[in-house]
A and B are shown apart, each in its own frame.
Chain A
Amino acid sequence: MDLTYTDDQKAFRDEVRAFLDEKLPKRLSDKVAGGKRLTKEDYEDWHAILNAQGWLGVNWPKEHGGTGWDAVQRHIFEEETTRAHAPRIVPFGLNMLGPVLMKFGSKEQQAHYLPRILNGDDWWCQGYSEPGAGSDLASVKTTAVREGEHYIVNGQKTWTTLGQYANMIFCLVRTSKDGKPQEGISFLLIDMDTPGVTVRPIVLIDGEAEVNEVWFEDVKVPAENLVGEENKGWTYAKYLLTHERTNIAGVGFATSALANLKRIAGLEQSGGKPLIQNPFFAAKMAQVEIDLMAMATTNLRTIAAAAAGNAPGAESSMLKIKGTVIRQEINALTRQAVGPYAMPFVSEALDEGANVEPVGPGYALPATQSYFNNRKLSIYGGSNEVQRQIISKAILEL
């Protein structure tokens, strides 16, 4: 039992820190730390910086231009980048589609799409959920009918995160109604510029248009855009979800949110004293910190097991539940900490260069927005209810 990093791992951590010191633009880290709105260009800039270093394909093997890092190195990288307030890596091409293409895509698809993901030529989004298929993903209804050298796609996807920036979408589509719902699903790559594709933003309760509806009306998709075999899409979809769940615990996000909470609680005055000295509030902060300390180790245990070659199973469901509950509690405490200034909603103040002062301290609106926005954490990626179901079946065998 050794809870510390090896010398090699420490050296790696120092290398990551040095890189971030040198290459992470202050303009970007200031925006992330200040809860400001990130633009498409901000994400693209950060991707390009990482790509120049060869560090964008964090969980890609070297043969495809990735880092080839092991689970511990990936964890260290994630820990350091969140600590430094780097923008997150947009996951749809890199963490979701990339691994699927490497495992199930044709040589041509790999050669065409993988470099484009790294170079930022394509911005991918995820066409999984539908209005009637959320936690019950296998009930997708969007259809793809083969006509000669094309599929004709009709239907609707929803909760498409950052779909407004995307030029490509990977979709689960129904190619057969025979058998179990899982058996008639295929995995299709669709160019968003094809006639018949419509994107409509959905404004969430934090006032931000982060997700979209994507409509398909007689969209002609070349048959070569099918990944793997027809009607085998469910296998690929599940494979993708296990990759979606890398870093599902969100330890880095939680750690940086907790640091932000402590900073705010030190600045806010309550009854003539800093809020951080209020025993009621301090107790709640301590409680969530204690939970986070333990969860960070649960996460490391899973990572160590993965580094030793054990594929994560239902453990990721535990991490998803505990990780999201902890982050949501930190967000709730942060909202509480800002007091009456949780109320003003001066959205323009979040834009870079907008000459609008926030009402009250600048950290107040991001605190409220994060609280409302992160209610999604326990809903998306398989709701926490679905995760509990997985645990009770896979681990408890109930």
Chain B
Amino acid sequence: MKLRRDVFQAIADPTRRTIITLVATSAMTPSAIAENFDYSRQTISKHIQILTECEILEQEQKGREIYYHLNPNGMKQIADFIEPFRKLWDNRFNNLEAVMKNYQSNKK
């Protein structure tokens, strides 16, 4: 079994981010995606493969062509990843508020 790739590694690369932006508007074939870059088809195929393994892109067979479109669940995972960081700070600041409120009421 192939190890599941890191979704953040996937979006850390600028080429892959451009691919995400391209495919966001409409489903595209690998050659249509590759036309937007100066890189070789193989390079772009590799990026598409990584994005697919991360479940950011999904394949769809239409006749003889394969189309790629965004997987909304994969994208949601990216949006959610900031939440634990926010919670950490929220807890810290709740502590600060509690400590200082306690000090404030003892002072009175």
A and B are interacting partners? no
| A contact set with B: CB distance below 8 Å | none
| B contact set with A: CB distance below 8 Å | none
